Amino acid sequence: MAKVLCVLYPDPVNGYPKEYARSSVPRISGYADGQTAPTPSGVDFTPGELLGSVSGELGLRKYLEGLGHELVVTSDKEGQDSEFDRHLPDAEIVISQPFWPAYLTAERIAKAPNLKLAVTAGIGSDHVDLDAAIKHGVTVAEVTFSNSVSVAEHVVMMILSLVRNYLPSHQWVLDGGWNIADCVSRSYDLEGMDVGTVAAGRIGTAVLRRLAPFGVRLHYTDRHRLPAEVEEELNLTFHESAQAMVPNCDVVTVNAPLHPQTQGLFDDRLLSTMRHGTYLINTARGLICDRDAIVRALESGQLAGYAGDVWYPQPAPADHRWRTMPHHGMTPHISGSSLSAQARYAAGTREILESHFTGTPVRPEYLIVDGGALAGAGAHSYSTKS
Ligand code: NDP
């Protein structure tokens, strides 16, 4: 029988919810590219419940224990003596979420001889050392598309929040003020601006589609070009690289995975080539942006605003400079973990586990590493160090 080790973020500080703001979530059966939403044989949760925290257990306990497997769920993931490290040596499966990542480093993978499968309950498997997973024959899978639209909506929200100066204006209300001039002295319309995405995969394309009606000029760069009809429909300008694109933009959104080609991409040099007063939104991964270079660019005014929900490390320490830098709209890593998204990635995690236990192939679109190589979606979108 297998030990399944699942690392989830802690429950709300006031305890696991007894009731919810809404009684249901819309049922999404498929995605923009025709891919179907997860199709497990069943689920043991009600969509709309909090599944991503420890007590939610991704709704997996009944299913796994029914098959005789052991499920360990913890949020204790840091340091040699963490519950995660204590259970890792005999775990067959590790499940983790990018929001509260259990970093599966090469050292940790070496200490887990039984490990066969690392599941990302969500999208983005950069918390797993993919080279080490390849070397040790560990399969890495994620629930592709499960929260792509969730993130795209968050990106659009953050672009509008920054450009229109929403958060500081809201703060004036909380503080009892009516300071219109203070609010509007940094407030603009998005209409007419140039907006570019670094990567036009599932999230990047969803962002482009949602922004098109705002009357903006849309730009993108990606390793693979979008079909000509999509470029035409959205009136997209393609650029060969981020370096070529960003000088042409007022707003830049980052939607690429973190891998050797994207780590540290937004450094002092690239930021200095952007238009003065550009807004930068990064919901992809914190390490794609150089932490201190972002602070410098905000302080100098080179960036007019920075927002996102991804940091390094996660959780971000209390003294992380992005908490206090000027003109930011940061949140904890939440964009892909709405209750709506949780229902999909919990079901997708169950689907991947069912494939593993029944010996049926995991959908190629879920695979990042398999059979000792990048595979499926991973072969398309990731790179390795070697
Ligand atoms: P996709 O795999 O659909 O898209 C990623 C795109 O990035 C692909 O089109 C890929 O290109 C492109 N890409 C990869 N490397 C580069 C590069 N060096 N330069 C330009 N483009 C590049 O993934 P999603 O859109 O679903 O997700 C993207 C990322 O967003 C995830 O990897 C994750 O890090 C992050 N994410 C964040 C979430 C959150 O809650 N904040 C939730 C979900 C995801 P191609 O394949 O054409 O080679």
**Is residue 85's pLDDT more than 90?**
yes
Query: Which of 120, 155, 203 should be mutated for ligand 1, with most atoms under 8 A from CB?
Result: 203
Q: At what angle do helices 148-163 and 166-174 cross, to 10 degrees?
A: 70
User: Sheet of 139-142: strands edge to edge?
Assistant: 70-74, 3-7, 93-96, 117-120, 139-142, 367-370, 373-374
- Atom number in ligand 1 closest to CA 377: 2
d(CA 47, CA 90): 32
69 is catalytic: no
Q: Is 69 annotated as a binding residue?
A: no
Using a 6 Å cutoff on CB, does residue 342 contact ligand 1?
Answer: no
Sheet containing strand 236-238, strands side by side: 236-238, 217-221, 194-198, 251-254, 278-282, 303-308
DSSP type of residue 287: G
Is 123 annotated as ligand-binding?
yes
Mean pLDDT of 143-151: 98
Domain 3-146+337-374 shares a fold with domain 148-323 = yes
Query: Is ligand 1 within 6 A of the CB of residue 194?
Result: no
For the record, the structure tokens of 315 come out as: 């959780």
Residue identified by tokens 């160090």 is 385
Catalytic residue among 108, 127, 147, 327: 147
pLDDT per position as a tens digit, 222-233: 999 999 999 999
Residue 352 beta carbon below 6 angstroms from any ligand 1 atom: no
10 CA from centroid of ligand 1 (Å): 27
Distance, in Å, from the CA atom of 186 to the CA atom of 219, rounded to the nearest integer, reads: 24
User: CB-hemisphere CA count at 13 Å for 125?
Assistant: 33
User: Which of 357, 351, 315 shows the shortest CA–CA distance to 332?
Assistant: 315
Ligand 1 mean position to 126 CA, how many Å? 11
Give me the mean pLDDT over the 296-311 stretch. Answer: 98
* pLDDT-derived band at 385, boundaries 50, 70, 90: confident
- Was 309 annotated as part of a binding site? yes
Which CATH superfamily is 148-323 part of?
NAD(P)-binding Rossmann-like Domain (3.40.50.720)
- Residue 381: pLDDT band with limits 50, 70, 90: confident
Report residue 10 as tokens: 């802690």
Which among 145, 255, 314, 368 is the best mutation to test ligand 1's pocket, defined by most ligand atoms within 8 Å of the CB?
255
Task: Report the pLDDT value the prediction gives residue 79, as an integer from 0 to 100.
Answer: 81
How do 373-374 and 367-370 pair as beta strands? antiparallel
Q: Which residue among 69, 154, 275, 333 is the active-site one?
A: 333
Distance of CA 336 from the midpoint of ligand 1 (Å):
13
DSSP code per residue over 58-124:
GG-HHHHHHTT-EEEEES--SSTTSHHHHHGGG-SEEEEBTTB---B-HHHHHT-TT--EEEESSS-
Distance, CA of 14 to CA of 230 (rounded, Å): 46
Q: Distance from the CA of 152 to the center of ligand 1, in angstroms? A: 12
335 close to ligand 1 (CB < 6 Angstrom): yes
* pLDDT band, very low/low/confident/very high, at 96 (cuts 50, 70, 90): very high
Structure tokens that stand for 325 in this block: 């830098």
Q: Per residue in 168-179, pLDDT tens?
A: 999 999 999 999
Q: What residues does each domain of the chain span?
A: 3-146+337-374, 148-323
Give 3-146+337-374's CATH code, choosing from 1.10.760.10, 3.30.1490.190, 3.40.50.720, 3.40.50.300: 3.40.50.720
According to DSSP, the residues that pair with 42 across neighbouring strands are none
pTM (predicted TM-score): 0.96
Q: Tell me the longest C-alpha to C-alpha distance in the chain.
A: 65
**333 flagged as catalytic:** yes
Would you say the CB of residue 341 lies under 6 angstroms from ligand 1?
Answer: no
- Which pLDDT belongs to residue 216? 98
Q: What is the pLDDT averaged over residues 358-383?
A: 95
The answer to whether 334 is annotated as binding is: yes
